[in-house]
Amino acid sequence: MVALVSGITPVDSAGRSCLLCSVCRFLLIKPKQTECGHRYCTACLENLFKTDNEADCHVCQQKVFRSKVYHDRAAENDAYATKIQCTAYRDGCDWTGTLRNYLRTHRAQCDFHVVPCSNVTFGCETMGPRKKILAHETQECEWRMELCPRCETFCTHKLLEDHITMCTKWKETCPVCGKTDLTKAELEQHCDPDHGTCPDAQVSCPFKDIGCLENPRRRDVEDHLRAGQPEHLLLMLKRRGGPPVEGGASAPASEELSALGRKADALSRELERYAHLVEVLQRRCLHSEQLVAGLQRRVRALEGAREQPASTNGVLLWKIRDFASCLAAARAERVTSFYSPTFQTHPFGYRLCCRLYPNGDGNGRGSHLSLFLAVVRGDYDDVLPWPFRQRVTFLLLDQAQQKHHLRESFAPDALSGSFQKPQSRMNVASGCPTFARHEMLHRDRSPYLRDDTLYIKVVVDTAGLVP
């Protein structure tokens, strides 16, 4: 969700009507006044200009020019001194005070203010009142960090069970044979009744299907077969109808018994051969599992490593492929937003990234492409000046080489929490909810969407920054 200061109305709407934006009709935020005398929020006025330097006034329809618009500090001071209610008053917040105090302190502390889960960068999209989101982050979020009780390594809750299964320090002892130093996965395989390796585990006799009810230990199966060979042969004869026991029929029965004895010996040798093959395969499986566990540790280590910035000069060129698929996923609410690679204003400067909503967010939902900037925690935040104040320009590049790029520019609000020093991995993003209309992208021969690909360029004004 985007941190936009909008939707704020004064307690005394009638007495403060002159401080309402001519477009959105909410309390002016960073007000600007045109030549014709009408006031606008900076963001609303920029939406009027879009890609051109002139536009029609929303009120009187006179031509207004970007170069003849000035910052109305008197109206800004009056707006900051206006008494307002917290925007979460419908949810139960009874705070009232000036807009200045709301922006400086209350909004960052309000228990009813809707905020995203701090694990948003890992994939959690849960949002809710601040007083409830803390409980979600510590007790419910599947991306919360938890400590492995054995190896004392932090792992996300979602992956903790897999981690415990493969944890090399999580050792178990076989309750049957007493073998030690087994991981949980190794123990399950070791004790498997059909394919395990525990020598003391009870298994079914290979002749169970013809009536043998004994359950020898795995180590004693061969002795059991040799000691009970006559009984097993008789069971086989019984299944075939049994040999004659009277008169001259005993000789054929004896011959058949001998033949079955030879067949039993052959089956026993075959069983030994298969047992050897099973043992070899089990060793190979164990080796493969160890290799997989090593690769998983390397993957987790790489995932935990800090992402290298795409650039360190304040400019990001972001290529977005398969835009149709991204838009379809956003409309189906499977994946509503996408993050760009991080970039920096300087090798030792601010770390930033962009967040794109293909199906829009806020007042651009369903009709626009929304684009926002987020301040990411960096290695040099402790020595950088805060809040972040550098002007940011978004460009949707014209791929037809006509240089008619779609451009949006904004200066960060110094009072917004989005541009303060990050306390978590990333601040809430802020920017342009109505960056580009869908109909402009999908019209015939659109210069902005070619081969289902968009190019977005972000330029941060680094003038005056001291590295």
Q: Where are the beta strands (DSSP E) in 364-448?
A: 368-376, 392-396, 406-410, 430-437
The C-alpha angle 213, 218, 224, rounded to 5 degrees, equals 55
**Same domain, residue pair 444 and 330:** yes
Task: Find, among 303, 430, 319, 309, the residue nearest to 374 by Cα.
Answer: 430
Q: Domain end: 193, 214, 229, which one? A: 193
Tokens encoding 191: 């004790």
| DSSP class of 308 | P
How is residue 21 written in tokens? Answer: 């934006």
Residue that the structure tokens 């999908």 belong to: 442
**Are 186 and 220 in the same domain?**
no
Contacts 24+ apart (CB under 8 A), 321-325: 321/452, 321/453, 322/452, 322/453, 323/358, 323/441, 323/449, 323/452, 323/453, 323/454, 324/452
219 in a structural domain: yes
Domain assignment present for residue 7? The answer is no
Please give the angle made by the CA atoms of 205, 209 and 215, to the nearest 5 degrees.
25
99 located within any domain: yes
Q: Sign of dihedral through CA atoms 90, 93, 96, 99? A: negative
Find out whether 166 and 293 touch, Cβ atoms under 8 Å.
yes
- 331 and 435 in a single domain? The answer is yes
Residue 242 placed within a domain: no
What are the tokens at 419?
């541009």
**Closest by Cα among 14, 44, 48, 15 to 30:** 44
Give the phi and the psi of residue 437 in degrees, each rounded to 5.
-75, 145
The number of residues making up the chain comes to 467
CATH of residue 65:
3.30.40.10
Look at residue 236 in the predicted model and tell me its pLDDT: 62
Q: What pLDDT does residue 227 have?
A: 65
In a domain, residue 129? The reply is no
User: What local confidence, expressed as pLDDT, does residue 345 receive?
Assistant: 95
Q: Residue 433 is part of a domain; what is its CATH number?
A: 2.60.210.10
* Residue 158: domain span: 144-193
21 and 68, same domain (yes or no): yes
List CB contacts of 398: < 8 A, sequence separation 6 or more. Answer: 404, 405, 406, 447, 448
Q: Are 337 and 356 in contact (CB under 8 A)?
A: yes
212: left (phi over 0), alpha (psi -120 to 50) or beta: beta
Q: Are residues 172 and 90 in the same domain?
A: no
| Residues 51, 70: Cα–Cα separation, whole Å | 19
Phi then psi for 5, rounded to 5 degrees? -85, 95
Alpha-carbon span 389 to 384, nearest angstrom = 11
CA distance 458 to 408: 10
- Burial bucket for residue 363 (CB in 10 Å: 0-12, 13-18, 19+): middle
Domain-located, residue 130 = no
Look at residue 267 and tell me if it is in a domain: yes
Task: Please tell me the predicted confidence (pLDDT) of residue 240.
Answer: 54
By C-alpha distance, which of 322, 388, 330, 389 is closest to 356? 330
Q: For residues 321 and 285, state if they share a domain.
A: no
Half-sphere exposure (Cβ direction) of 389: Cα atoms closer than 13 Å: 9
In angstroms, the CA 144 to CA 74 distance is 47
Instruction: Give the Å distances, CA to CA, from 165 to 154, 241, 283, 285, 293.
Output: 15, 51, 19, 16, 10
Q: Which amino acid would we find at residue 239?
A: R
C-alpha atoms less than 13 angstroms from C-alpha of 298 in its C-beta half-sphere: 6
**Domain stop point among 63, 90, 112:** 112
Provide the domain count of the chain: 4
- Give a yes or no: residue 294 inside a domain: yes
Question: Could you say which of 69, 93, 112 is where a domain stops?
Answer: 112
What's the gap between Cα 38 and its chain centre? 44
- pLDDT value for 439: 92
CATH code of 167's domain: 3.30.40
Amino acid at 42: T
| Domain shared by 275 and 213, yes or no | yes
Confidence at residue 112, expressed as pLDDT on a 0 to 100 scale? 82
For residues 191 and 210, what is the distance between their CA atoms, to the nearest angstrom?
26
What's the pLDDT at 248?
45
Same domain as 294, residue 324: no
The one-digit pLDDT tens for each residue of the chain (467 residues) are 333 445 787 877 666 778 888 888 888 888 999 989 899 998 888 888 877 788 888 889 998 898 889 988 888 888 889 888 888 888 888 888 988 888 888 888 888 888 888 777 777 888 888 878 888 877 788 777 777 766 667 777 777 766 666 665 566 778 778 787 677 667 777 777 677 788 777 777 766 666 676 777 777 766 776 666 666 666 666 555 554 444 444 455 556 666 767 777 777 788 888 888 888 888 888 888 878 877 877 666 555 445 689 999 999 999 999 999 999 999 998 889 999 999 999 999 999 999 999 999 989 999 999 999 999 999 999 999 999 999 999 999 999 888 889 999 999 998 888 999 999 889 999 999 999 999 999 888 899 999 999 999 999 998 766 55
453 and 317 within one domain: yes
Domain co-membership, 416 together with 283: no
Q: Are residues 323 and 444 in the same domain?
A: yes
Residue 327 CB coordination number (10 Å): 17
Say yes or no: 165 and 57 in one domain.
no
What's the confidence (pLDDT) of residue 433?
Answer: 93
